[in-house]
């Protein structure tokens, strides 16, 4: 597969020729196409100098002007070959000579030097911009496109496959010294955008999805002839194509499609192929009900993934997180509705007591607490007779209907949560292979006692409380920062102490285990549950179950990160009682 690139030479043509014709880099001699020219770099330089000065009327080695651009004296082409082609030095020189003859004719002055110093065979073609008859050659996009096409045709004659330009990806071009310095120090805006695009390609469904995700993070896009993007804090837009061939619109869409196909094979297919492995290892037990039930469960999960078009673990975790949030919201609405129903039932009972059991004196001068409540409710709603209570009964029927609907939604959402949670847990269990060192560390962690586990959490809790009391904000990952901010918020509210303590324990476990993502907590929880189900020792089983609960506490905290508990009302005894009015 030949590859052609070009570069114009403005000054120091003698040095350029000597570099290309260096005997230490040149193999198999030189081929020089020019009239009355000896095969060495010095004579090639003098011949080209003579022809250029004759037709151009300028000095061949004139210095670079202080302003503007210098005149082009030589055109430098590089024709490189893929090592897989196993091309010889002689064949490469013949291809280079045929290319120059067919492209520029017999009167051209050119030096073709074949090198193999870069790990692959390649030709350097140095061309004088004037030929022996005074015809001038130019290097532009049209000429480069033409010589690339001709190079492919000549190589096919020698049995070499043409260059695959569709799948070729050039490395990003460093446009200047300033960008090179930023790349070196990790402060390049372009590299930041490239890195974020590379990360999101693994989870995005399309370019529009990738763009929406980046815009939510503060990136801005500008449509036009070329799509431009700007990172948060960046002052100027940058075109996608200037980030490199791998970051054009077409290439990003192709990379997303390739990743989704590969992710399907990596994520979905194991749920199908594991059934065969289970039956092979089961041997004579392959037709027993436990083996068939296990294989059936994995086949059911595989069918869910195919039907819902879930191609990677990120999509499964996104669906699980979305359903968990929905479940928490429905559960909160359900609890609030139950409280309203309880209050409404109490009000109906008190109103019935007012009209059925209380006399005129009791209504005017209530003494019992039950009578006082009944009088207050009747006055609040403005009831004049028992028939007026029907409005509350209708409201109660409406609430009970809503309660039944919410219970159905909660049941449905709970089923979805269990479904996606099973997929995520099984995925991590299927991919829980670790190195020997990691396995030793894991075994050591798994063998700690309940007292050691609680002691570590207690020590970490003291550190967190000291930081909260002094408002010390240490460096944290994004997930830790979210829980930290919620703890600080709840401490300013009148809430039950256990609400704060639950979050502090979750944060302590996150720091002990180094959990920075919610999927890590799910992975640990799945592993602990699996260990608890297989543990024969009762004490170890309790440790595994306790740790699994602690990891689930982290997941619960993240799931309800935006849901705050209602503020606790001050106790009634703190209120100043109203002064009694004495009758005269």
Residues 428-478: tens digit of each pLDDT? 877 766 555 565 566 677 777 888 888 888 888 898 888 888 877 777 888
Total length of the chain: 584
CB 48 within 8 Å of CB 72: no
Longest distance between any two alpha carbons in the chain, whole Å? 139
Q: Where are the domains of the chain?
A: 3-157, 177-247, 263-307, 315-423, 434-559
User: How many other CB atoms are there within 10 angstroms of residue 562's CB atom?
Assistant: 10
Residue 428 CB partners (closer than 8 Å, separation 6+): 519, 522, 523, 526, 527
CB 298 within 8 Å of CB 269: no
**Could you tell me the strand order of the sheet in which 220-222 lies?**
220-222, 228-230, 238-239
Q: What DSSP state is assigned to residue 79?
A: E
The string over 294-326, giving b where at least 16 C-beta atoms fall within 10 Å of a residue's C-beta and e elsewhere, is bbeebeebbebbeeeebbbbebbbebbbebbbb
- Hey, what are 492's tokens? 């300013």
> Strand, coil or helix: what is 236?
coil
> Strand, coil or helix: what is 92?
helix
**Any idea which of 93-97, 114-118, 224-228, 499-503 has the lowest mean pLDDT?**
114-118
Whether 408 shows a pLDDT value over 90: the answer reads yes
Q: What CA–CA distances, in Å, run from 207 to 150, 216, 568?
A: 36, 14, 47
**Residue carrying structure tokens 């070959």:** 81
Residue 58 CB partners (closer than 8 Å, separation 6+): 52, 71
State residue 383's pLDDT score.
86
State residue 574's pLDDT score.
47
**pLDDT tens-place string over residues 104-152:** 888 888 888 888 776 678 888 888 889 888 899 888 888 888 888 888 8
**pLDDT tens-place string over residues 303-339:** 888 888 888 888 888 899 899 999 999 999 999 999 9
Rounded Cα distance between 476 and 496, Å, is 26
State residue 412's pLDDT score.
92
Q: What CA–CA distances, in Å, run from 89 to 16, 110, 153, 468, 556?
A: 22, 18, 19, 72, 67
Q: What DSSP state is assigned to residue 136?
A: B
State residue 164's pLDDT score.
61
Nearest residue to 146 via CA among 103, 111, 94, 109: 103
Structure pTM? 0.48
State residue 330's pLDDT score.
92
Mean pLDDT of the chain: 80
State residue 477's pLDDT score.
80
User: How many other CB atoms are there within 10 angstroms of residue 210's CB atom?
Assistant: 21
Q: Residue 417 — very low, low, confident or very high, per pLDDT cuts 50/70/90?
A: very high
**pLDDT tens-place string over residues 31-88:** 544 443 445 656 778 888 888 888 888 888 888 777 777 788 888 888 888 877 788 8
CB 92 within 8 Å of CB 121: yes
Rounded Cα distance between 228 and 248, Å, is 10
Whether 570 shows a pLDDT value over 80: the answer reads no
**pLDDT tens-place string over residues 273-312:** 888 888 787 766 677 777 888 888 888 988 888 888 888 8
The domain defined by 3-157 folds into BirA Bifunctional Protein; domain 2 (3.30.930)
Rounded Cα distance between 244 and 169, Å, is 8
Burial class (CB in 10 A: 0-12, 13-18, 19+), 191: middle
Mean pLDDT of 481-510: 85
Residue 76 pairs with which residues in a beta bridge?
A: 7, 126
- Hey, what are 12's tokens? 């120091």
Nearest-Å Rg of the Cα atoms of the chain is 39
Mean pLDDT of 401-421: 92
Mean pLDDT of 524-545: 87
Rounded Cα distance between 567 and 493, Å, is 6
CB 115 within 8 Å of CB 178: no
State residue 183's pLDDT score.
67
Rounded Cα distance between 414 and 398, Å, is 24
State residue 411's pLDDT score.
92
Q: What DSSP state is assigned to residue 283?
A: G
CB 528 within 8 Å of CB 551: yes
Nearest residue to 115 via CA among 99, 95, 93: 93
Q: Which residue has the higher pLDDT, 167 or 345?
A: 345
Measured in degrees and rounded to the nearest 5, phi and psi for residue 77 equal: -105, 145
């Amino acid at each position: 597969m030949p590859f052609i690139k070009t570069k114009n030479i403005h000054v120091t043509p003698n040095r350029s020729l000597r570099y290309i014709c260096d005997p230490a880099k040149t193999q198999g001699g030189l081929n020089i196409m020019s009239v009355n020219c000896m095969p060495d770099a010095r004579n090639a330089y003098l011949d080209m100098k003579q022809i250029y000065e004759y037709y151009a009327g300028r000095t061949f080695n004139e210095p670079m002007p202080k302003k503007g651009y210098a005149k082009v004296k030589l055109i430098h082409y590089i024709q490189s070959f893929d090592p897989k082609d196993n091309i010889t030095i002689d064949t490469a020189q013949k291809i280079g000579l045929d290319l120059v003859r067919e492209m520029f004719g017999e009167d051209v002055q050119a030096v073709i030097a074949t090198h193999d110093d870069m790990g692959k065979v390649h030709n350097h073609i140095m061309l004088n911009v004037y030929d022996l008859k005074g015809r001038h050659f130019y290097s532009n996009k049209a000429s480069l496109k033409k010589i690339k096409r001709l190079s492919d045709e000549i190589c096919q004659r020698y049995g070499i496959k043409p260059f695959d330009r569709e799948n070729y990806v050039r490395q990003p071009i460093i446009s200047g010294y300033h960008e090179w310095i930023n790349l070196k120090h990790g402060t390049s805006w372009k590299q930041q955008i490239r890195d974020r695009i590379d990360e999101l390609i693994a989870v995005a469904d399309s370019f529009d999805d990738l763009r929406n995700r980046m815009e939510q993070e503060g990136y801005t896009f500008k449509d036009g002839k070329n799509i431009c993007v700007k990172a948060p804090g960046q002052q100027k837009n940058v075109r996608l194509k200037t980030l490199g061939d791998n970051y054009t619109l077409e290439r990003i869409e192709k990379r997303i499609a390739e990743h989704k196909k590969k992710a399907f094979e990596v994520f979905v297919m194991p749920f199908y192929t594991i059934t065969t492995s289970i039956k092979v290892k089961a041997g004579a037990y392959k037709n027993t009900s436990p083996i068939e039930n296990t294989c059936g469960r994995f086949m059911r999960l595989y069918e869910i993934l195919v039907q819902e078009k879930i191609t990677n673990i990120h999509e499964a975790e996104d669906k699980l997180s979305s359903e968990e949030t929905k479940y928490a919201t429905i559960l909160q609405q359900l609890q609030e509705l139950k409280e309203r129903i309880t209050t409404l039932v109490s009000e109906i009972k008190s109103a019935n007591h007012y009209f059925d059991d209380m006399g005129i004196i009791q209504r005017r001068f209530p003494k019992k607490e039950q009578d006082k409540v009944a009088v207050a409710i009747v006055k609040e709603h403005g009831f004049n007779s028992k028939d007026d209570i029907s409005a509350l009964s209708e409201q109660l029927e409406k609430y009970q209907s809503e309660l039944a609907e919410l219970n159905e939604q909660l049941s449905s959402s709970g089923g979805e949560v269990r479904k996606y949670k099973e997929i995520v847990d099984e995925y991590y269990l299927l991919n829980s292979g670790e190195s020997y060192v990691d396995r030793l560390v894991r075994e050591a962690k798994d063998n700690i006692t309940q007292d050691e586990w609680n002691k570590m959490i207690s020590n970490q809790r003291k550190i967190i409380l000291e930081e909260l009391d002094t408002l010390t904000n240490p460096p944290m990952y994004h997930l830790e920062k979210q829980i930290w901010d919620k703890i600080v918020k709840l401490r300013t509210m009148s809430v039950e102490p256990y609400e704060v303590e639950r979050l502090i324990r979750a944060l302590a476990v996150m720091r002990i285990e180094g959990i920075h993502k919610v999927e890590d907590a799910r992975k640990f929880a799945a592993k602990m549950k699996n260990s608890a189900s297989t543990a024969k020792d009762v004490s170890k089983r309790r440790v595994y179950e306790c740790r699994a609960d602690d990891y689930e506490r982290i997941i619960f905290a993240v799931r309800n990160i935006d849901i705050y508990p209602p503020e606790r009302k001050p106790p009634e005894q703190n209120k100043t009682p109203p002064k009694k009015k004495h009758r005269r």
